[in-house]
Structure 1
Amino acid sequence: MTHDPNGAPPGGVLERLTAALGAEAGRRGPPPVERWNPDYCGEIPLRIAADGTWHYNGSPITRPALVKLFSTILRRDPDGRTVLVTPVERVGIEVEDAAFLAVEMAVEGEGEDRVIAFRTNLDDVVPLDDAHPLRVERDRDGGFKPYIAVRHGLWARITRALAYDLVALCEEREEAGERWFGLAAGGRFHRLARSTELS
């Protein structure tokens, strides 16, 4: 594959990625992107905005089916780069915040027997469990932004409305000699922040 002197891939990259996925269309389940390791082919002008909108060459991608298709070949590489990957090509993209948004939450049961699952803006359903932990970051105003792991090193930012619902389920517990604010679900207590960080 040829490139320009600036390292940008040639035009038609989305078409090439779509064509490469065509060979995988008959497979059951998500593409095995964790097993694909083609050469890195540079960055493309694709950006996932903080509001979850996908943009290509500065314009929103208006075909939801195309966005969902590309989301299935998205992963985060060990070097921290977010890439679209097929068996023959790997290209870097920009992610402003998180690759996904968690837009819906389902809760069943109470305490550590509680089951919580999230639906992303691209219709992934993610349970809160050891394989899909929560993490919390501080925003610019000092508030907390929660995220849940989705797949392949990618995260979904939990929307503000859902974050309030999540906080309503939280409690304080003492663990390892420290007070923690967190959430009981999936058979364990998920620590979100030390109680001292909230005061």
Structure 2
Amino acid sequence: MNVRTLCLSILHEGETTGYEIRRLCVEGNCSYFIEASFGSIYPALAKLEDEGLVTSRTEQQDGKPAKKVYSITEAGRAAFAQHLSEPLGDDMFRSPFLLFARFAHILPPDLVETRLQDYLERTRERRQHLEEAASERSLNASDAWVVNYGRAIADVAEKYLQAHMDELITLARAEPNKKAAE
């Protein structure tokens, strides 16, 4: 998925601003799909507008700068549906935690244990957020399916961390001993 398609997906649900699109990509419902910066969102919106796939209007705000509100057009809805009809690309999973885990053997055990506990807590918080989302009555059937998929993934991640965190801590303990033996 690219930023253009992400913008169309959010606008498919209703009109919004570039700022709100960014917020949804960072902490909202779209944070699981793709990360998008302001530097990629606004050029994508401008191009979508040039192509007639979205329109915009300026709204004045009391004590604040005016904001630009975007809406999807019928052509934009058709383009979005067309993109969804195309073959899916591979999921891309990037994790700073997995980089940390890969090199845990070169770190002090207490640091590894602390980072694991922190990451486990954040995983629990993400799962709780999804549990709360699943209880919202406003979810349509497709949204509920996606939320439940996320809940299943978070549940597996939490169980794996609980069952195997000691292995990573042990690896951290092993490296200093190995160096000491040399």
- TM-score scaled by length of structure 1: 0.22
Higher strand share: 1
Higher Cα Rg, which structure: 2
Higher helix share: 2
- TM-score scaled by length of structure 2: 0.23
Q: Which has the higher contact order (CA 8 A, sep 6+)?
A: 2
